[in-house]
Amino acid sequence: MSRIIKATDLHNKTRDVLEWARIDGEEVVVEYFGKPVVVIVRFDEYQNYLGYKEEQREARAERFERLRRFAKQNAALSGLSEEEASALVEEVREEVYQSRHKTTVES
């Protein structure tokens, strides 16, 4: 569980806060006017986070690349131009949005 402190306490207890994170391995959430604004973690945890974030970015890029390949394949098979396919996707997207919005408004 994370330890939560106020920004003023961080100012007054910097050494303690650093030890909580560095030695005890605690995440320290710093609040400013009652809202969390930063988290202090050990450097190795931060590096792990950066690695995870990069993996997610690469995975997302790969998913979009696959979607682009599938879109090109489908367009070639269907005989639609890229503009026609995009217009069709936009039309369906709008229908889905309207359907969801209508359901939400009626509820």
DSSP-based helix, strand, coil % in the chain, nearest 5: 70, 15, 15
Amino acid 104: pLDDT: 52
Amino acid 9: pLDDT: 95
- The whole-model pTM stands at 0.57
Using 70 as the pLDDT threshold, list the residues of the chain that sit under it.
75, 103-107
Judge if 92 and 60 occupy the same domain. yes
Burial of 40 (0-12, 13-18, 19+ CB in 10 A): buried
Domains in the chain, number: 2
Judge if 60 and 98 occupy the same domain. yes
Amino acid 98: pLDDT: 86
Judge if 67 and 89 occupy the same domain. yes
Inter-CA distances, 63 with 4, 12, 36, 100, Å: 37, 47, 33, 25
User: Which structural domain range is residue 36 located in?
Assistant: 3-41
